[in-house]
Amino acid sequence: MNDLKRYFIAFTPYHLLLSMLISLDFEERDDVIIIDKDNINNANNIVQRLTEYFPQIIFKIIEERSASKKFFKSSNLIKVYKTITIRKWYPKKYQDNAKIFSDKGEVFIFNEARLISRYLLNKFKKNIILIEDGLSNYTRYKIKFKDKIKKLFGIYPPFGRNPCIKKIIVQNPEKLPDDIREKGEYLNLKQLVDRLTEENKDKIIKAFLNRNLLKSFLNLNQGKRILLLTQPFSENKAITETQKITLYKNIIDKYLDNDELLIIKPHPAEKTDYTKLSLYKNLVQLPREFPIELINIMPKFNITKAITLFSSAIDNIDVPQKITICPNPFDCPELIFPSGNNSIKS
- DSSP letters along 91-133, please? HHHTHHHHTTS-SS-EEEES-SSSHHHHHHHHHSTT-EEEE--
Candidates 226, 230, 228, 193; CA nearest to 303 is 226
Residue 181 domain flag = yes
Using pLDDT thresholds of 50, 70 and 90, give the confidence band for residue 268: confident
Same domain, 142 and 218: no
Candidates 61, 28, 29, 27; CA nearest to 45 is 61
Task: Write down the pLDDT at residue 60.
Answer: 96
Residue 202 domain flag = no
Same domain, 216 and 275: yes
pLDDT at 345 over 50: no
Same domain, 257 and 318: yes
Task: Write down the pLDDT at residue 225.
Answer: 86
Beta-bridged to residue 184, according to DSSP, are 168
Same domain, 273 and 187: no
Question: pTM, whole model, 2 decimals?
Answer: 0.86
pLDDT at 99 over 70: yes
Same domain, 28 and 144: yes
Residue 346 domain flag = no
The total of other beta-carbon atoms located within 10 Å of residue 172's CB is 13
More confidently predicted of 136 and 94: 94
Domain that holds residue 97: 6-191
Mean pLDDT of the chain: 87
- Among candidate residues 133, 162, 191, the one where a domain is terminated: 191
Count of domains for the chain: 2
Alpha carbon distance 291, 273 (integer Å)? 17
Strand order in the sheet with 128-131: 58-62, 31-36, 6-10, 106-109, 128-131, 165-170, 184-186
Same domain, 133 and 243: no
pLDDT at 128 over 80: yes
Same domain, 170 and 237: no
Close Cβ partners of 228 (under 8 Å, ≥ 6 residues apart): 248, 251, 252, 262, 263, 264, 265, 306, 307, 308
Task: Write down the pLDDT at residue 173.
Answer: 95
More confidently predicted of 134 and 114: 114
143-152 long-range contacts (CB < 8 A, ≥24 apart) are: 144/346, 146/346, 147/346, 150/80
Alpha carbon distance 242, 246 (integer Å)? 6
The total of other beta-carbon atoms located within 10 Å of residue 173's CB is 20
3-class secondary-structure state, position 59: strand
Task: Write down the pLDDT at residue 341.
Answer: 41
Candidates 192, 188, 193, 148; CA nearest to 172 is 188
Candidates 70, 180, 66, 65; CA nearest to 132 is 180
Task: Write down the pLDDT at residue 18.
Answer: 96
pLDDT at 131 over 80: yes
Q: What is the DSSP string of 227-244?
A: EEE---TTTTTSS-HHHH
Q: Which of 6-20, 136-150, 182-196, 323-337 has the lowest mean pLDDT?
A: 323-337
Task: Write down the pLDDT at residue 50.
Answer: 95
The per-residue pLDDT for range 205-224, each reduced to its tens digit, is 989 887 666 666 666 656 78
Q: DSSP secondary-structure letter at 296?
A: G
Alpha carbon distance 108, 7 (integer Å)? 6
3-class secondary-structure state, position 273: coil
Same domain, 251 and 171: no
Same domain, 183 and 233: no
Beta-sheet pairing, 184-186 with 283-285: unpaired
Please answer whether residues 295 and 317 qualify as being in contact, where contact means their C-beta atoms are separated by less than 8 angstroms: yes
- Stretch 153-169: mean pLDDT, rounded? 91
Task: Write down the pLDDT at residue 346.
Answer: 28
pLDDT at 289 over 90: no
Close Cβ partners of 13 (under 8 Å, ≥ 6 residues apart): 40, 208, 268, 288, 289, 290, 291
Alpha carbon distance 232, 103 (integer Å)? 38
Q: What percent of the chain has pLDDT over 90?
A: 58
Using pLDDT thresholds of 50, 70 and 90, give the confidence band for residue 162: very high
- Stretch 224-248: mean pLDDT, rounded? 91
